[in-house]
Structure 1
């Protein structure tokens, strides 16, 4: 969730009931997780139940529509004040359901739709339960545990790790919590230096966490709060083996919180192995079995590939459009759309695999600050980007499956706000879309044939009549991507200049002749500098030995062997190379 939202004006949602104190999923303390029932509790028991072990999990009393404040839910005053400074005073359903148990140190599984506020659901208990450097509890820690991470949050993507770290840092500002995000694409040295200086909470991706732990730079032996965020996405991306390696490095006497939008069987199995009698809290509207957020207005159109950019440019001029995200399936298509829209006058940034980490973060900062109002991204960024004010999401290409569709459109309609999602389906993708439509029970089985001049484009989205595919010069008020400085992140193996250009192509000798070579390690340039004197000496030697007085540049070239002409075994002339 974006932490700088105005909750009071946008929060409206109800859920099934308050949290129970003991889940019937794991009825007896000490019973191995693998021997418990095959289902997890979907609803919570009434708060007035005298015996939580015998309470009927189905007979849950609905919570009053009036939301509770974080102070009423037991969140400490410094955290409440930090949240209030960002306009956050009341809790969303999933937060209200989880905070009671999580603040007590119980293991919790939180399940809610994308964009419903899961971050603070695990973030606030983690911040409150660790010993902050400014607190009296910190001095009571063993000396070996001081300045070592006490909390670990594992995220599937770099962008999500960066966003979660920002939210945690802002919420814990009043306690002096030290938060570090660690992920690939950045240099190791700054992260290692921060770990040595002292860190309280780590937010990172599985690969970099395992890497730093394996090198001995990250000590996880004092972690007592573990969070697995977006667990279903980590499953989809193949990170579960890495997650298990990370869990094995953490003491067993910890609190574990697992949050996810969906709960597939492998995630349930993971919970059974590594969680201690967790309570499964699921926030949803009564009778709502849809996977999409109701606040998102969805449009699905069948578009012609030759007309899509023109159609897209007109959609981007819809009434009341704020920040907009455009999703593609390939890196090349993302960059092409970026270039096309920029040429048409829009302020555009992009996030895809051909960009280095510095360029990605530049685009995200520019997007969050409003310097650009259009961000083109591949699916790799769908889970991680959480920005306030995203009013429109455009699927320029049909998603691969229903999960990808949900992840994409979930970038809008977050935290109680409304949003618009437009999906453009090519003719050859109709079958794929119909599978998505059927899986999500959507009413768009046969997408409406749409062109850039179709009347429903103008009436349905509020695009002014007469709008063309170019943004009028009078409306080009954004500062643009160039107004955001590129940070030197000391990247590990990625370019910062964007996709490969002609200068990056390999020459006849098999080496890159352009920017990618120049962007390589500084050792290359050092070797060139150090080798300069020896090169000059070699040239001088060749010049002195060259009887014909050729230039040093000629002398530095390799000499061609000439074939000697002979007559009767004797040379015929003096021009042969000796």
Structure 2
């Protein structure tokens, strides 16, 4: 075994070799951390999950107290599950780079020596990929060439930016002239600075003061994206004297109303909470509004805020500059642009002529996995890559909750973000993951839009996205910014391979990752035993299973995601059940009564359902037939 000083020297060498990546990560982390200083809610400690766990220490189950006999039995089940997973090879040859496997302390030290020897070659390859990717996102245009005040220039310099991206170079000069603009660019292309710099400059020229009220409103679809935009705005306004604030669901409405009454020049908001204040806060002065910015407009409409947006636009003053930014263009976006922008807005689309809809530094592929092997594959992959930064996407909040409880129970630390969490917990998990160098985050699509999370190594889509547009936004959490590199993995059932055709049409060609099923950890018997004996995990698994079936039935691509094609026995096995639980799916009489998806933003997530339903179907497995009614 090596002493602590030798280990310290090795870590120092690795840090020196990483160079450019570490510097970029620090800049991004500092930017995200700025949002945390405004309120105690956003101040979080470094992630504890990334620390090394003591091997001989038994983990206590994260469930309410039970009698000693029950606890003893469950601990035996847990030990069986851990020993089974550790005894087998958990390798998954999916081009995972230098993924770390379970080893003894001595083996890990030997592995560190090998990594140090090969580190130089790997860094050279990474640098080549970075330089290749950098050319595709940055332009020769400099921020210093913009006709903005010295205070704004100084703020941009402190953020560490010199060259503009394509969307910034093509839009900022026109926005500085007061034009209305509709911008379309892929995720991670620098849209945030593209609309914030002109807005800050406009407020500076008008000499806006707190007594003038709100002069600029930025609308974001989710709370996390709002906090991130607020952090960038705070950094940009470092040398300015303007006031700025953040309003969103899950926080104190009274405190927000008091701040609005004092005068907030720049306001970042989610749609639901903004409309609430516009309608009900008497001292909210917005009659002097000069600039309206709608960020991730397609996502705002996708999660059900179309009516709220129409009401907001009607309430706001008509004489204003409007900027509408989106990663994709749809008919709904065109309708929103028609009512919010002036008659002849400028359209800037930097991705229209690109051959790929995703960034160059992203290595992406798919694997074909039957339903009954899905969790075994996920467990093996996360076990192998637990020393990396990984995001795993699920289709429902209850599925995230169950897998979060299960994986932590079997000693694989993960965190989670979903729409039904309390805001304080959701914010804490978000900033902990942002600040961590190695961590696993389970999430729903609430984390799929706009979030700038530093150095994400893997995006795993455990449950497939609803459409190619959602796929693009999910994988957009990795390989972001200048020189960004990352990996993405899509899990598909054999019956879902038709989705690849839609991805190809959307300029997202994927390669199949090859792997050996013999290297997948076979923990199925232990999983079933654990779910059967642990009441709380059993209940959580049951809710997650039902939620998965309902979410699958709500997919828009019915020809690909056909609920009747599911083998419920195999699906149940992936949740730890030998016998599938009953699922009640609501069947509506008219199209207008269809379920409306809502998630993120100012209101609660989940499904809004009409109170009256005509009938329902009970799905269960019977013999060789898929379903019976």
Question: Residues 69-122 of structure 1: CA distance to partner in whole angstroms, max 9, x if unpaired?
Answer: 212122332222223223222211101111101112111111111121111100
Distance 1:5 1:381, change over 3 A: closer
Distance 1:336 1:98, change over 3 A: same
The question of 1:385 aligning with 2:408 is answered no
| 8 Å contact from structure 1 (residues 307, 452) kept in 2 | no
Question: Residues 174-207 of structure 1: CA distance to partner in whole angstroms, max 9, x if unpaired?
Answer: 1133222211122212211221233111111111
The alpha carbon displacement at 1:255 in A equals 0.8
**Corresponding residue of 2:191:** 118
The question of 1:12 aligning with 2:134 is answered yes
| 8 Å contact from structure 1 (residues 304, 451) kept in 2 | no
Rg larger for: 1
* SS, match of residue 170 in structure 2: helix
The alpha carbon displacement at 1:442 in A equals 4.2
Equivalent in 156, 166, 179 of residue 83 of structure 1: 156
The question of 1:171 aligning with 2:171 is answered no
* SS, match of residue 278 in structure 2: helix
* SS, match of residue 137 in structure 1: coil
**Corresponding residue of 1:129:** 202
Q: Distance in 1 between the 2:262 and 2:227 partners?
A: 20
Equivalent in 306, 316, 321 of residue 255 of structure 1: 321
**Corresponding residue of 1:423:** 490
Distance 1:434 1:163, change over 3 A: same
Q: Distance in 2 between the 1:163 and 1:500 partners?
A: 35
Higher percent of residues as helix: 2
**Corresponding residue of 1:246:** 312
Question: Residues 238-273 of structure 1: CA distance to partner in whole angstroms, max 9, x if unpaired?
Answer: 323222221222222211111111122332233233
The question of 1:198 aligning with 2:263 is answered yes
| 8 Å contact from structure 2 (residues 361, 486) kept in 1 | yes
Q: How does 1:388-467 map to 2 (within 5 A)?
A: 388-416=454-482, 417-431=484-498, 433-444=499-510, 450=515, 453=518
The question of 1:185 aligning with 2:208 is answered no
The question of 1:224 aligning with 2:287 is answered no
Q: How does 1:533-552 map to 2 (within 5 A)?
A: none
**Corresponding residue of 1:233:** 299
Q: Distance in 1 between the 2:189 and 2:507 partners?
A: 21
Compute the TM-score of the two structures, normalised by the length of structure 1. 0.63
Unaligned stretches of 5+ in structure 1? 16-64, 140-144, 458-466, 470-497, 503-578
Distance 1:442 1:195, change over 3 A: closer
Distance 1:419 1:320, change over 3 A: farther
Q: How does 1:316-355 map to 2 (within 5 A)?
A: 316=382, 322-355=388-421
Distance 1:66 1:346, change over 3 A: same
Distance 1:220 1:342, change over 3 A: same
| 8 Å contact from structure 2 (residues 275, 312) kept in 1 | yes
Unaligned stretches of 5+ in structure 2? 1-23, 32-126, 524-536, 542-629
| 8 Å contact from structure 2 (residues 184, 349) kept in 1 | yes
Q: Distance in 2 between the 1:499 and 1:109 partners?
A: 49
Query: Paired residues, what number?
Result: 403
Compute the TM-score of the two structures, normalised by the length of structure 2. 0.58
Q: Distance in 2 between the 1:228 and 1:352 partners?
A: 23
Q: Distance in 1 between the 2:308 and 2:325 partners?
A: 17
Question: Residues 417-438 of structure 1: CA distance to partner in whole angstroms, max 9, x if unpaired?
Answer: 111001111344334x345434
Q: Distance in 1 between the 2:308 and 2:25 partners?
A: 27
The alpha carbon displacement at 1:393 in A equals 0.5
| 8 Å contact from structure 2 (residues 391, 459) kept in 1 | yes
Q: Distance in 1 between the 2:290 and 2:538 partners?
A: 42
| 8 Å contact from structure 1 (residues 108, 278) kept in 2 | yes
The alpha carbon displacement at 1:210 in A equals 0.7
Equivalent in 167, 179, 183 of residue 94 of structure 1: 167
Equivalent in 166, 180, 184 of residue 107 of structure 1: 180
Q: Distance in 2 between the 1:337 and 1:193 partners?
A: 40
Distance 1:320 1:377, change over 3 A: closer
The question of 1:162 aligning with 2:227 is answered yes
The alpha carbon displacement at 1:123 in A equals 0.9
Distance 1:418 1:86, change over 3 A: same
**Corresponding residue of 1:52:** none
Q: Distance in 2 between the 1:273 and 1:437 partners?
A: 31
The question of 1:215 aligning with 2:280 is answered yes
**Corresponding residue of 1:357:** 423
The alpha carbon displacement at 1:320 in A equals 11
* SS, match of residue 365 in structure 2: strand
Equivalent in 153, 157, 160 of residue 218 of structure 2: 153
The alpha carbon displacement at 1:14 in A equals 5.0
- Cα RMSD after superposing both structures: 3.4
Distance 1:275 1:409, change over 3 A: same
The alpha carbon displacement at 1:381 in A equals 2.4
Q: Distance in 1 between the 2:166 and 2:25 partners?
A: 16
* SS, match of residue 198 in structure 2: helix
Q: Distance in 2 between the 1:333 and 1:319 partners?
A: 21
Q: Distance in 1 between the 2:517 and 2:257 partners?
A: 52
**Corresponding residue of 2:85:** none
Q: Distance in 2 between the 1:192 and 1:305 partners?
A: 49
The alpha carbon displacement at 1:336 in A equals 2.4
